[in-house]
């Protein structure tokens, strides 16, 4: 136990508080402070710092449902803090569209007619105000409008099976999360890549220098294997905690800037907690997925490093593992954006992808909590299975300097590892 | 006591060690010799418990070498097996603590051995900054820092100059005096001859010479006679029992099959003029090694 503890401490000391660690953290810290405060920084240093006058919009509800508060709905949708310009939305007293052209105080006129479920919409914009961003914002609302109404009506009226879509996020919330997810999951991805790389390099350094023989002569290969994984997880905790501290510092800095320049504080975390009511569950799930996923990738990395004989060998052999890591990350980011919900569900059950896809699928409402827990359980069982299978192969491979092709080599190690087990 | 009993080690269809047996007693230095690939390192790995033998066993005081008794063993492998990016102190702390030693004890012994090897200034230097000879010293220190009862040294003298070799030899002798068992391999047969009592010579995994060095030399039978006289080389070559004659600048080196042929050669030399030397010498370990290994290769 003491030797295991010492191996873990030694592994951690090799990585933490070294020059490379300090420089990397200085860069990461600054980057995170900036990322967390991007909205506030844009707000402060952006070209249109001074708030322009709101655009005056008149909405005429000429649909069959005159009771529906159309102007109120549009107002709620369009005047949120993530749309750069602000609009003042009003109902109308106009007789017809000519009144709009005569009214110098009004910029836009929207006339809704027909059935509210599928209305005909006429949009009038005065030539002097046809800036592209304004038109885009209005058109986005018009595109989303029917979807929102459809979802709202469904919430009010249960469908034929008596089920509802409670688990689903509102489209604008989902769009927001999809957009922000790449920023939030990037540090997680980077941490797993760092930890995986560090572990592999650490093992291959000991193996290629033959120091491994002196080490394995003193401690069992299994203890060495587990100590390397534990040290890397420890490194992950230290680095992860530092990232959280940078994030909190960033949030604090954002509040400070908001108070000094008299602008509204725009915090990604605050916005996320508003958009995802289940954020504590998501946070716990994300940490668990990350932790178990890291152990999975560390186990594979340890296997690859034990099979390699030189640094060059290791770099070559670990390329597929890095590709799998990158694939998992991109699947997690891009599939929700593409609306490929079924593919996300499938990917969230595949252990090599689920560390990234699992929490994202839950965050975007594609999967339920139960679904996420099953996915996590599969991941955990895979880690246990991999550790059980890889540990004896590691024991054989770590002291072998065979130079045959990768698959031939691993085949021989597997044969040797398990033939020994049966004797 | 270390007992290697009928050890056989196979890698797939390849047999690296065939039915090898030997015993080392406390206070004994044992030489394991052989050409590259003869099976020396495999034998060391079996002794260290790093490789389970296909057949047979290696016993250290009637127990298998395992993690319960490995802290009493020092192991120095053939290649320089050091982590080059860390300092001498950190490396010795690492290896020492893996041997179950406390930090203060490691540092105390490290200071002693660095002084002994006349390199105290390298304590806080990175291994990669050291010369090959000094790296070899550090590796040797890592093998002896736990004051082992069994010292396994794979090519401990490779790359060392004669002065440093002498320092190593003194340490090995000191451990022998304390009752430690030392097993080592070396290509430098003069070292083996100078301080080993027992040897095994491996060739393609088989022991082709084994036993007490004096007995091995006696059993080899072939002798060398150094002659300084006006002899006729053809006559010498044709004498019974002579299988080779080499002419050096001042002397003739006559190799004979056995002791029984000395008298015949002596009788001939007596008839020659200017006889200043007639010296009979046992074959050196190096000659025995070359003769046996060469013979073994010819048989294959």
**pLDDT tens figures, B248-287:** 888 899 988 888 888 999 999 989 888 899 998 888 888 8
> A202 and A11 in contact (C-beta within 8 Å)?
yes
Strand order in the sheet with B252-256: B242-247, B252-256, B223-228, B277-282
Same domain, A325 and A208: yes
Over residues B66-70, the mean pLDDT reads 82
Question: Cβ contact (<8 Å) for A10 and B71?
Answer: no
For residue A277, the model assigns a pLDDT of 65
Domain end, chosen from A92, A127, A156, is at A156
Q: Which residue has the tokens 């590892």?
A: A417
Q: How far is CA A361 from CA A207, A328, A330, A332, A355, in A?
A: 40, 12, 13, 8, 11
Mean pLDDT of chain A: 77
For residue A30, the model assigns a pLDDT of 87
Dump pLDDT digits (tens) for A203-239.
999 998 888 988 988 888 999 999 999 999 998 889 8
B chain contacts of residue A217, beta-carbon cutoff 8 Å: 48-50, 70, 73, 75
Same domain, A202 and A233: yes
On whether residue A162 sits in a domain, the answer given is no
Same domain, A32 and A67: no
Neighbour tally for A155: CB within 10 Å: 13
Same domain, A176 and A280: yes
Question: Cβ contact (<8 Å) for A412 and B12?
Answer: yes
Count of domains observed in chain A? 2
Q: How long is chain A?
A: 423
Q: How, if at all, do strands A108-114 and A55-63 pair?
A: parallel
A chain contacts of residue B86, beta-carbon cutoff 8 Å: 14
The CATH code of domain B2-217 reads 3.40.50.300
For residue A391, the model assigns a pLDDT of 92
Strand order in the sheet with B2-11: B14-24, B2-11, B55-60, B63-64
| DSSP E strands, chain B | 2-11, 14-24, 29-34, 55-60, 63-64, 73-76, 150-154, 181-185, 198-203, 206-212, 223-228, 242-247, 252-256, 277-282
Same domain, A62 and A205: no
Buried b / exposed e along B251-275 (16+ C-beta atoms within 10 A): bbebbbeeeebbeebeebbeeeeee
Question: Residue A16 pLDDT more than 90?
Answer: no
Q: Of B45, B77, B99, which is closest to A218 when you measure between CB atoms?
A: B99
Flag whether residue A12 sits within 8 Å of chain B, measured between CB atoms. Answer: no
Same domain, A314 and A291: yes
Same domain, A230 and A306: yes
On whether residue A46 sits in a domain, the answer given is no
Strand order in the sheet with B206-212: B73-76, B150-154, B181-185, B29-34, B198-203, B206-212
> B40 and B30 in contact (C-beta within 8 Å)?
no
On whether residue A45 sits in a domain, the answer given is no
Higher pLDDT, B246 or B298: B246
For residue A250, what pLDDT band results from cuts at 50, 70 and 90?
Answer: confident
Parent domain of A403? 2-39+171-422
Domain end, chosen from A156, A187, A203, is at A156
Q: Which residue has the tokens 């013979």?
A: B295
On whether residue A228 sits in a domain, the answer given is yes
Counting one residue from chain A and one from chain B, the pairs whose CB atoms sit within 8 A come to 60
Dump pLDDT digits (tens) for B123-164.
999 999 998 889 999 999 999 999 999 999 988 887 788 888
Question: Cβ contact (<8 Å) for A412 and B50?
Answer: no
For residue A275, the model assigns a pLDDT of 66
On whether residue A49 sits in a domain, the answer given is no
Same domain, A136 and A208: no
Q: How, if at all, do strands B181-185 and B206-212 pair?
A: unpaired
Flag whether residue A414 sits within 8 Å of chain B, measured between CB atoms. Answer: no
Q: Is residue A123 within a helix (H) or strand (E), and if so which, with residue range?
A: strand A120-125
Same domain, A399 and A290: yes
The dihedral through the CA atoms of B129, B134, B139, B144 has a sign that is: negative
Q: Which of B211, B180, B83 is nearest to A215 (CA)?
A: B83
Residues of chain B that touch chain A, judged by Cβ-Cβ distance less than 8 Å = 12, 45, 48-52, 67, 70-71, 73, 75, 77, 79-86, 94-95, 97-100, 142
Neighbour tally for A248: CB within 10 Å: 13
On whether residue A164 sits in a domain, the answer given is no
Q: Is residue B89 within a helix (H) or strand (E), and if so which, with residue range?
A: helix B88-98
Dump pLDDT digits (tens) for B178-212.
999 999 888 777 778 777 888 888 888 888 888 88
Dump pLDDT digits (tens) for A343-359.
888 888 999 889 888 88
For residue A243, the model assigns a pLDDT of 84
């Amino acid at each position: 136990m003491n030797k295991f503890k010492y191996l873990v401490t030694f592994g951690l000391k090799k990585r933490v508080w070294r020059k490379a660690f300090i420089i990397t953290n200085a860069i990461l810290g600054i980057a995170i402070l900036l990322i967390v405060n991007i909205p506030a920084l844009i707000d402060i240093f952006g070209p249109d710092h001074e708030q322009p006058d709101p655009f005056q919009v008149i909405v005429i509800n000429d649909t069959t449902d005159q009771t529906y508060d159309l102007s109120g709905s549009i107002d709620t949708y369009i005047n949120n803090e993530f749309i750069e310009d602000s609009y003042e939305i009003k109902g109308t007293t106009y007789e017809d569209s000519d009144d709009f052209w005569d009214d110098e105080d009004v910029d836009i006129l929207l006339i809704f007619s027909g059935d509210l479920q599928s209305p005909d919409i006429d949009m009038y914009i005065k030539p002097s105000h046809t800036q592209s961003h304004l038109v885009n914002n209005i058109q986005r609302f018009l595109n989303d409008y029917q979807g929102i109404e459809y979802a709202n009506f469904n919430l009010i009226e249960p469908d034929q099976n008596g089920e509802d879509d409670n688990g689903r996020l509102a489209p604008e919330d989902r769009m927001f999360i999809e957009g922000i997810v790449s920023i939030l999951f990037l540090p997680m991805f980077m941490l797993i890549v760092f930890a995986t790389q560090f572990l592999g390099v650490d093992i291959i350094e000991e193996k290629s220098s033959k120091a491994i023989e002196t080490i394995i002569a003193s401690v069992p290969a299994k203890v060495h294997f587990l100590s390397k994984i534990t040290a890397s997880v420890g490194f992950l905790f230290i680095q992860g905690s530092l990232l959280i501290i940078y994030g909190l510092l960033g949030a604090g800095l954002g509040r400070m800037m908001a108070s000094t320049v008299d602008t509204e504080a725009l915090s990604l975390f605050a916005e996320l907690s508003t958009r995802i009511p289940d954020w504590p569950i998501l946070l716990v799930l994300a940490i668990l997925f990350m932790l178990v996923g890291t152990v999975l990738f560390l186990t594979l990395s340890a296997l690859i490093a034990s099979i390699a004989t030189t640094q060059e060998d290791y770099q070559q052999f670990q390329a597929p593992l890095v590709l799998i890591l990158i694939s998992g990350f991109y699947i997690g980011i891009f599939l929700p954006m593409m609306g490929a919900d079924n593919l996300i569900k499938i990917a969230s059950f595949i252990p090599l992808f689920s560390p990234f896809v699992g929490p994202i699928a839950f965050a975007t409402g594609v999967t339920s909590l139960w679904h996420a827990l099953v996915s996590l359980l599969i991941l955990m069982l895979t880690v246990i299975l991999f550790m059980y299978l890889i540990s004896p192969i590691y024991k054989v491979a770590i002291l072998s300097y065979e130079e045959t092709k990768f698959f031939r080599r691993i085949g021989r190690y597997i044969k040797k590892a398990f033939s020994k087990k049966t004797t | 006591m270390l007992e290697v009993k009928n050890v056989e080690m196979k890698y797939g269809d390849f047999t690296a060690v065939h039915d090898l047996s030997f015993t080392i007693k406390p206070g004994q230095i044992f030489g394991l010799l052989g050409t590259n690939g003869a099976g020396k390192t495999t034998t060391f790995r079996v002794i260290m418990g790093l490789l389970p033998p296909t057949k047979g066993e290696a016993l250290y005081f009637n127990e298998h070498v395992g993690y319960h008794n490995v802290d009493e063993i020092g192991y120095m492998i053939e290649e320089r097996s050091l982590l080059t990016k860390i300092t001498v102190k950190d490396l010795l702390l690492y290896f020492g603590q893996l041997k179950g030693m406390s930090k203060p004890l490691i540092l105390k012994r490290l200071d002693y051995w660095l002084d002994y090897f006349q390199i105290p200034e390298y304590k806080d230097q990175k291994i990669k900054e050291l010369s090959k000879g000094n790296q070899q010293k550090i590796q040797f220190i890592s093998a002896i820092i736990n004051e082992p009862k069994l010292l396994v040294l794979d090519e401990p003298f490779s790359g060392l100059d004669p002065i440093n070799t002498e320092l190593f030899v003194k340490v090995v002798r000191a451990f022998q005096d304390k009752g430690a068992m030392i097993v080592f391999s070396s290509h430098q047969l003069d070292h083996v001859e100078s301080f080993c009592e027992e040897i095994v010579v491996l060739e393609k995994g088989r022991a082709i010479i084994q036993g007490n060095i004096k007995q091995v030399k006696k059993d080899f039978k072939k002798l060398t006679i150094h002659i300084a006289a006006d002899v006729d080389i053809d006559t010498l070559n044709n004498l019974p029992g002579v299988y080779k004659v080499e002419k050096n600048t001042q002397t003739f080196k006559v190799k004979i099959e056995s002791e029984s042929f000395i008298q015949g050669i002596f009788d001939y030399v007596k008839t020659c003029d200017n006889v200043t030397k007639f010296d009979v010498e046992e074959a050196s370990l190096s000659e025995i090694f070359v003769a046996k290994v060469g013979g073994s290769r010819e048989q294959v």
